[in-house]
Structure 1
């Protein structure tokens, strides 16, 4: 009888110990899940601040000075604070000036960008400018710039806005800038090769900062 009581007591103690350990394990798991969630939020915040969650992957195609086909494809992930690389500015006339840019590093030598004016009343897109600059030692200029206001002969500049929210600044768009050989010849050092057609294209999905331009009194 005494032996049975000892065995029973041991079992009870073991059961209580197991229950306590199991509770502690559950608490530890909950703590790890909470810490993991907090870490994800912090990493997402860092990614958003840097722009790495809204990168631009850009491709520029052309022929070099040896008439060899070239295609430069880069991904630029970084942005600056403020309006410098992401803005949607409402003008007094109701139109919006939109600017998007991403760059590779603090030197800011490699980047892709686009700027234009959007009229929500008519969906018209005007005043289009953009380009791609990279850094290498090929037998061509390491940049391709396009500006319909500066030089438009042989230029096809398309901005396809797939969705836009003028309140939050969220935008999704495809950008294609193409110039014929005539365009390149007339635009000089702004293109990789003045004797070659050139095309730069990229897509962007992200959130811009929304501002309202106020006319000075």
Structure 2
């Protein structure tokens, strides 16, 4: 994603004080990855521990995103990503029981520790009627080598017209947290022309994104 010179300068300045922070985080992820591969190569009795380590990383529950948008040459550009990492808390995964038969769902997966790339979906779900309420979705990526912005966000609160978000929930089990879904979002030139350019890759051009996810969320109860 495009970052200003000021932000870049702050990051450079910050790195002088914390030179080992990012290195330590990357080393932690590398260590966990190596642990998974080592465990898989050992006997089947350790298979469960290997699976649990993969689950902590989130690599066994990726979110796949494919975005297409119009470019400035009357063509179409495609951005694809498989995002495997999650936070250990509710920042990237939650299923909140509202106590009225509805659940607030939020799912996000990111690319490693920097949070520069990823995808997310949020909505309220009523399993008894399969009703989807107030859906939102987004795909963001990191490419500083073209003239386009690095995100596509679909949210009728930003602009009410020209945006469509269709969510198909193929599996939902609040007792276990299991959920599987497909999200197909699209925005017309009306939407992309009227939202802030920050939210679309190319203002005034159509954009669409498909997200798929299957995994397990943490269940919370609203106070």
Answer whether TM exceeds 0.5 for this pair.
yes
What aligned pairs does 1:47-62 form with structure 2 within 5 A after superposition?
A: 47-62=54-69
Q: Note if 1:91 corresponds to 2:91.
A: no
RMSD: 1.7
Match of 2:23 in 1: none
Q: Does the aligned pair in 2 maintain the 1:128–1:149 contact within 8 Å?
A: no
Runs of at least 4 residues off by over 4 Å: none
State the Cα distance separating 1:44 from its structure 2 match: 0.9
- In structure 2, which of residues 140, 146, 156 is the aligned counterpart of residue 148 of structure 1? 156
What aligned pairs does 1:190-201 form with structure 2 within 5 A after superposition?
A: 190-201=199-210
**Which stretch of structure 1 is more off in the superposition, 36-45 or 181-190?**
36-45
Q: Note if 1:68 corresponds to 2:75.
A: yes
SS at match of 1:46: helix
State the Cα distance separating 1:176 from its structure 2 match: 0.7
Match of 1:171 in 2: 179
What aligned pairs does 1:194-209 form with structure 2 within 5 A after superposition?
A: 194-209=203-218
SS at match of 1:178: strand
Separation (CA, whole Å) in 2 of partners of 1:117 and 1:151: 19
Unaligned runs of 5+ in 2: 1-41
Q: Note if 1:109 corresponds to 2:131.
A: no
Unaligned runs of 5+ in 1: 1-34
State the Cα distance separating 1:116 from its structure 2 match: 0.2
State the Cα distance separating 1:187 from its structure 2 match: 1.4
Q: Does the aligned pair in 2 maintain the 1:103–1:112 contact within 8 Å?
A: yes
Q: Does the aligned pair in 1 maintain the 2:92–2:107 contact within 8 Å?
A: yes
Paired residue total:
182
- In structure 2, which of residues 202, 216, 220 is the aligned counterpart of residue 211 of structure 1? 220
Separation (CA, whole Å) in 2 of partners of 1:101 and 1:206: 11
**Higher alpha-carbon Rg:** 1
State the Cα distance separating 1:59 from its structure 2 match: 0.3
Match of 1:5 in 2: none
Q: Note if 1:186 corresponds to 2:197.
A: no
Q: Does the aligned pair in 1 maintain the 2:127–2:172 contact within 8 Å?
A: no
Separation (CA, whole Å) in 2 of partners of 1:106 and 1:52: 13
Q: Does the aligned pair in 2 maintain the 1:170–1:208 contact within 8 Å?
A: yes
